[in-house]
Amino acid sequence: MILLVQNDKEYETDLREMISAFFSHEKINVSTPSEVASFEKERFGRFRFMLTALFDEKNASLRLEEKGHVLYSAYIYGDYKNRKRYRNKLKLAIYRLLSEYTKRDLPWGSLTGMRPTKIATQALAKGKTKEEIVDYYNYTYDASIEKAQLATDVALKEKSIIESVNPLTDYCLYINIPFCPTKCLYCSFAAYPITDYERHISDYIAALKQELQHIAFINRNRNLVAVYMGGGTPTSLNSTELGSIIQCVRETFDISLLREFTVEAGRPDSITREKLEMLKKNGVTRISINPQTMNADTLRKIGRAHTPADIKRAMNDARKAGFKNINMDIIAGLPGETIFEMEYTLDELADLAPESLTVHSLAIKRAANLNERYDEFSGEINHDTDKMLSLVAKRAEKAGLEPYYLYRQKNIAGNLENVGYSKPGLECIYNILIMEESVDTFAAGAGAVTRLLTTDNGKVTRVDRVENCKNVDEYMLRIDEMLERKNAGVASRMLT
C-alpha cells in the first residue's frame, strides 16, 4: 500500500496515474496533511512509501519518504491553478522521483494518456518535423526515443486517412455482439457465454436490427465509411444469425461509399468454413482471427478452448474463402510467457502471413478474472513486456508490416501500449478514425458506446458519449430508450 498526501485534490488523478504506472497493482491511500498528523507511528509501517504533494500559489513541494526518512524531493515553481502550464511539469517531476526510487525508466516517461499519438498529430498540423516532434516527446515527457519515433510514425501514417474524411458528412458504424464461447482469463468486457443465451439470440438480433434501422435513418443524408462488428465474439452466432445482421446493414444503410467492413471473427473455435464463405459473400472486406498466443499451455491457462492447430485451420479456411486482408491479435505479457514464448508465436504467425498484426500489452482490468485471481498468477507475469514489443516491431518490419495504430489502456503491464501493424494500404480505417476521434461513431448493441463529435471550423471541440445498457436483457427490454438516447445525443449537439 502507498500513502499519497496532498493539500489540494486538483491533481489527484494525475498523481494516482503516475504512481500506478510504476506500481500497477498496489492500493493507494489518499490523505491530507492534517489527517496524517494524527496517524499513530505504527500506522506508517503499513505503507511502502509516502508521497507528499503540497501546493501553494508560488510552487509545489514534492517529497518521497520511506519509514520516516526523506529519500527524494523536488520543487515545481508557478501557480498550480494554471493546469495547462503546470500539469506536465508536475507529472514529469513525480515521474523522476519515482524513477529514482525504483531505479526504473518507463518507456513513455510521464505520459499516461490513452492516445500518445495526439501530441504528434497536433505537432504535424503545426508544421513540425519528425525530428522536432521526437525531441519534444523526449524533452517534455522523458519518453524514450524508440517510443517517440513510434508515436510519430503512427501519426504520419494516420494523417492521410484522417484527412480523407469529413466529420460533418462521414461516420462509422460499430455493431456489438456480446457473446463468446467462454470468457478468457484477461477479458474485462461485458461478454456473455453463448450457451446461456441461446434461447434469447433471436430476440437480441431483433432489437439490434431495430437499432441499426434507427441509426440508418438518423444518418440518411451522410456517408457511412467503415463498419466494425466486434464483441464478444461475433462468430459465436451461427452462420444464419450472423448473416441476417450483415444483410440488415447492407439493406438498411447506404453503403455506396463504404471503404471497409470488418468482422472480428476472433476465436478460432467459433470459426467455420460456412461462416467465412457467408462473410465473404456478403461483402465483408476484413476479418480478425485472434490466436493471442501460439503456445498450447498458455491457451489452456487463459481459458481459450482452441489449439494452435485450430488457428492454422481457421487461417487456411479464410484464405480459401478469398479473404486477402486478415488481422491477427496477440498479447504480450500473458501469465507464464517470456520473450521465448513470444518468439515462438511470431515464428508460427510468420508462416501464416497475416496482412495485419495487432499486439496488445496485457492489461489487468478490474472486471477481469485475472484481477480477481491476481495473487495466483502474479508470479507468472513477466516484466519483460517491453522487450516483447520490441521483438514484435522488428518481426513486423521484416514481414513488411508498418505501425499505423497505437493506443494505451489503464493497468497495462509496464505502462506500455497496444500497436497495430499492417501492410501499406491495408490499415484498418475504423481503428484510426475512432482512436483519433475523426468522425462520429454510431454504435449498436448491448454495451455499445456511440461517440458524437462537436466541431468548430473543422476542428473537434467536444466528444459526447451515448451509452447503451451493458446487460443484454436490459438492452432488449429497453431498446426504445436506447433509440431515444441517440436522438437526445444528436439533438443536444445541434443546439451547441
**How many other C-beta atoms lie within 10 A of the C-beta of residue 232?**
25
For residue 301, the model assigns a pLDDT of: 86
For residue 17, the model assigns a pLDDT of: 92
Q: List, for residues 464-495, the tens digit of each pLDDT value.
A: 999 999 999 999 999 999 999 999 999 988 76
Instruction: Return the biggest CA–CA distance within the chain.
Output: 71
For residue 492, the model assigns a pLDDT of: 84
- The residue type of 244 is S
Task: Take residue 387 and report the three cell numbers written for it.
Answer: 522487450
Q: Over the chain (496 residues), what is each successive 10-residue block's mean pLDDT?
A: 96 94 90 91 87 93 93 93 91 97 95 92 94 97 97 96 95 96 65 86 98 98 98 94 98 98 93 98 97 93 88 97 98 91 97 97 62 55 83 98 92 81 98 96 98 88 95 97 96 74
Dihedral angle of Cα 310, 313, 314, 318, to the nearest 10 degrees: 170
Domains of the chain: 2-102 (3.40.50), 117-161 (no CATH), 164-485 (3.80.30.20)
| Distance, CA of 51 to CA of 410 (rounded, Å) | 21
pTM over 0.85: yes
For residue 366, the model assigns a pLDDT of: 54
With b for 16 or more beta-carbon neighbours within 10 A and e for fewer, the 6-39 pattern comes to beeebbeebbebbbbbbeeeeebeebeeeeeeee
For residue 63, the model assigns a pLDDT of: 97
Q: List, for residues 172-194, the tens digit of each pLDDT value.
A: 999 999 998 876 665 656 678 88
For residue 370, the model assigns a pLDDT of: 53
DSSP 450: E
Long-range contacts for 5-9 (Cβ within 8 Å, ≥24 apart)?
5/30, 5/31, 5/32, 5/33, 5/36, 5/50, 5/51, 5/52, 5/53, 6/30, 6/32, 6/52, 6/53, 6/54, 6/55, 7/32, 7/33, 7/53, 7/54, 7/55, 8/55, 8/80
For residue 71, the model assigns a pLDDT of: 95
- The residue type of 114 is M
- The edge-to-edge listing of strands for the beta sheet with 170-177 is 402-407, 418-422, 356-361, 326-332, 286-289, 260-266, 223-231, 170-177, 440-444, 449-456, 459-467
